[in-house]
Amino acid sequence: ISCCLDASRPWLCFWILHSLELLQEPIPAAVASDVCQFLARCQSPTGGFAGGPGQHAHLAPTYAAVNALCIIGTDEAYNVIDREKLLDFLWSVKQPDGSFVMHVGGEVDVRSAYCAASVASLTNILTPKLFENTTNWILSCQNWEGGLSGVPGLEAHGGYTFCGTAALVILGKEHMLDLKALLRWVVSRQMRFEGGFQGRCNKLVDGCYSFWQAGLLPLLHRALYKEGESELSQQRWMFEQQALQEYILLCCQNPTGGLLDKPGKSRDFYHTCYCLSGLSIAQHFGNMDNHYEVILGKEENRLAPTHPVYNICPEKVAQALQHFLRMPVPEVSRQPGGSGEDRPSDAAAASSSADLQS
């Protein structure tokens, strides 16, 4: 494995497994079991997952590992996750202002809030105290452009905007954003000529933003619908879905397999995963009760839907929630004031999954 990815090994598991599930390719049982055993070796004795065996726990590979295990969706996979120690790890990186650091002694940015909210909600350890002040901290990252920055006061960025918005959806607080300003910002990031998305104003198109930006549109569609917006389409998202599919299929494919940032760039597992995720968003509108498809080209181009909050297939989200919601929230020593009285929030129980299966 390349030394530059040595601390990203759970990410490799997630990127590959999610790409396979979008392509509707079955994962052999032996491979799934091997991945479970490897990710168990990446789990820190103090909770959370590291970028590789023997490394320090970090919120990013924790998110990747939990998502990968939920994609596998077997009892062996679910049993890898030590929920009590995971909750203890989340408390160890929680900051008084509501933000989270990526690892003990590490940096703060809005990615960490999303990673924490995602794994906590999927595994049923999300509690009001754990995310106290988090909503206000994320809201402070929305700037004059309409998008969100990594920390308050910086430039709006597609990846950070997705993370902040998705975290607020999980917490049931997305309505507190300036939704119209956010909508204006994100639709302005789709490039008029290329059809793909840029990550920031005055930047080049990049295939990975096919998910980070387009994935925001289902979240905004739902949020605006809940706010009583009556002019929303019931058949299409608020971006040019066909143009994005054209960019991904015509400009981002390597002839020998894999996807990439833009023509002239090398393929990699990261861009393969997020180009496919964005392609899925562009192909599927709505939920199981109101579902429309816009498939460019042949039927064989059709991917499975992906959940716009968690970016794994909706049935895997529902399966994980059903499994972990049967389990009580563990008690941990780090929780201020003792943990016995803190119960999961309504947002965690609902988990945003039922009406966001796009």
Q: Which residues are catalytic?
A: 157, 200, 203, 206, 208-209, 261, 268, 271
Of 287, 342, 330, 357, the closest CA to residue 123 belongs to 330
Query: Considering only CA atoms, which of 214, 140, 134, 220 is closest in space to residue 182?
Result: 220
Q: Could you tell me the two tokens for 216?
A: 């925001």
Q: Please give the angle made by the CA atoms of 38, 325 and 8, to the nearest 5 degrees.
A: 25
For residue 48, the 8-state DSSP code is: S
Contacts of 325 (CB under 8 A, 6+ apart): 124, 349
What is the rounded distance in angstroms from the CA atom of residue 106 to the CA atom of residue 113?
Answer: 13
CA–CA separation, 292 and 72 (whole Å): 27
Given a contact cutoff of 8 angstroms between Cβ atoms, the answer to whether 275 and 252 are in contact is yes
Q: How far apart are alpha carbons 127 and 135 in whole angstroms?
A: 13
Cα–Cα distance between 123 and 63 in angstroms, integer?
11
Nearest residue to 214 via CA among 234, 232, 191:
191
Give the Cα separation of 285 and 83 in Å (integer). 34
Residues whose CB falls within 8 Å of the CB of residue 130, separated by 6 or more in sequence, listed in order: 87, 90, 91, 94, 116, 120, 335, 342
* Distance of alpha carbon 32 from alpha carbon 207, whole angstroms: 28
CB atoms within 10 A of CB 155: 12
How far apart are the C-alpha atoms of 133 and 121, rounded to whole Å?
17
**What is the Cα gyration radius of the chain?**
19
Question: Are the CB atoms for 98 and 131 separated by under 8 Å?
Answer: yes
- Tell me phi and psi for residue 111, to 5 degrees: -55, -40
